[in-house]
Amino acid sequence: MTLEKLEELYKAADQSQVFRFLHTLDAEQRQKLVKQLAGIDIQRVNRIYQRAIEAEKAFTSPEAQGETIDPLPTEAFDSTLGSSSSKADDWREIGLDAISKGQVGVLLMAGGQGTRLGSSAPKGCYDIGLPSHKSLFQYQAERIKRLQVIAGEKCGRSDIVIPWYVMTSGPTRPDTEAFFKQNHYFGLDPEHIIFFEQGTLPCLTMDGKAILDAPDHVAVAPDGNGGIYAALRAPISPSDASCTVLSDLAARKILYVHAYCVDNCLVRVADPIFVGFCISKQADCAAKVVRKVEPTESVGVVALKGKKYSVVEYSEISAEDAAKRDSNGELSFRAANIANHFYTTEFLNGVASFEEEMAFHIARKKIPCIDMNSGDLIKPSKLNGLKLELFVFDVFPHTKNFAVLEVDRKQEFSPLKNAPGTGSDDPGTSRRDLLQRQRQFLEAAGATVAEGVEIELSPLVTYDGEGLESVKGKRFTRSGIAESLESLDALV
């Protein structure tokens, strides 16, 4: 697109301030600015800003404040806690059948860096201190590899594939791809690992004008984990505009997608129980949740808001409602959101039809910017701008058949959020929870593990405790790493 055409477009959008320093730029800087501006749909930015402002006002309106918040209806909810094992077994069979038919893909949200952990690398590269020193990426890759074997054994084939779609951010994509390559893709076929990028949006002034953070550059920020839906439609590579994640899913005939965040060391990637549950419920979109610990726990819960499925923040629920209990004595609002979702590909393809109805959330920030008179960089001491984010659960109100599966927090959720030594959701708690879960696998199979002994079971040995029949009656007295069933004998 020519500079003249861009100037017309941005003038029509009342955003021509981005050309304020055009006359001071050399040819290379002009080219850089033109390339960036051509990649921004500035009219869409204006619509997003306007919708976000309107939604923020509506949120505080008397009508919104009077909107009812109700617990999940029983027909949309089920739980693996206290339920018969036969029900979970049925779901697992349905899920494994779909996997064996090549109908299931995995969508990983891995755009963040390990900044809070003291690392500039992508968070998935982080070593939580396991004996093996495996990264989060490696653990998840090995779970996929093991699940492919399990599904293959079910149908008598060795060519089962679960494609892995890894969403990075612009800054983390090179390091993420390099890490996978250096580690030989953790034993997976790179043909079935697809990297793509989360989108960005311009940072805006309080009145919606795009901010410059250099004379030749518009300040941008990630568009939130809900930006994943637009990212699925964007070209995977600049060299081929026709190839998107959605087109790749279609080419592979994927019908169902499991999506999750990289920072949960206990995540059951492509969990056949969850996938089977969703298929049995004929859900177009679903959420896996854990039970809220107490009424005052600061977590969002999946509930009905204004008769539509939503994630309701703890601050939106009164103390009285938060403490309410159902006929079983459980909290009525207990479905804590863990960003673990299921979609049909049909639903993902349809998001574009209602995407502009979803309001982006406004975060007011101190954003470094260029003084529009002097051209000097300013680092503001007060809030001066907006970042706009969409959340991955913002699609929930638009689903036609939503479902929720409650699972055991201790078995499936241990997020990595905080710096080492924090004592909560940090590398130490992730390590503890993962090794404790693996100890449970051995004990459930009939083995005894001596006090103080730590055994790390590779996901290649067992995905979720299956295949450990040979350890029955054995007593493990030595700590170590088991990369195969045979290597466990050395730990007796």
Per-residue pLDDT of the chain (492 residues; tens, 9 = 90+): 889 999 999 999 999 999 999 999 999 999 999 999 999 999 999 999 999 999 999 887 776 666 899 999 999 999 999 766 789 999 999 999 999 999 999 999 998 888 889 888 999 999 999 999 999 999 999 999 999 999 999 999 999 999 999 999 988 999 999 999 999 999 999 999 999 999 999 999 999 999 999 999 999 999 999 999 999 999 998 888 889 999 999 999 999 999 999 999 999 999 999 999 999 999 999 999 999 989 999 899 999 999 999 999 988 899 999 999 999 899 999 999 999 999 999 999 999 999 989 999 999 999 999 999 999 999 999 999 999 999 999 999 999 999 999 999 999 999 999 999 999 999 999 999 999 999 999 999 999 999 999 999 999 999 999 999 999 999 999 999 999 999 999 999
- According to DSSP H, which parts of 183-254 are helical? 228-231, 245-251
Residue 162 CB contacts under 8 Å (≥ 6 apart), including other chains: 99, 104, 105, 106, 144, 147, 148, 151, 192, 270
Per-residue buried b or exposed e for 448-474, using 16+ beta carbons within 10 Å of the residue's own CB: ebeeebbbbbbbbbbbbbebbeebeeb
> How many helices (H) and strands (E) would you count in the chain?
14, 26
- Which residue spans within 169-239 are E strands per DSSP? 193-197, 200-202, 204-205, 212-214, 217-218, 220-222, 235-237
- Whether pTM > 0.75 for this model: the answer is yes
What are residue 107's DSSP bridge partners? 165, 259
DSSP state of 262: T
Provide the 3-class DSSP secondary structure of residue 259: strand
Q: Quickly list DSSP for 346-369.
A: HHHHHGGGTGGGSPPEEEEE---E
- Asked if residues 220 and 178 have their Cβ atoms less than 8 Å apart, the reply is no
Backbone angles phi and psi of 363, in degrees to 5: -120, 115
Measure CA 330 to chain center.
28
Tokens at 233, concatenated: 């439609």
- Helical packing angle, 3-12 and 42-59, nearest 10°: 20
Cα-Cα end-to-end distance for the chain = 68
Provide the 3-class DSSP secondary structure of residue 28: helix
Residue 137 CB contacts under 8 Å (≥ 6 apart), including other chains: 110, 124, 125, 179, 180, 183, 186, 262
pLDDT of residue 83: 66
| Nearest partner of 221 among 392, 383, 395, 40, judged by Cα | 40
Tokens at 417, concatenated: 């959020």
- Helical packing angle, 85-100 and 136-155, nearest 10°: 90
| Nearest partner of 131 among 482, 476, 425, 487, judged by Cα | 482
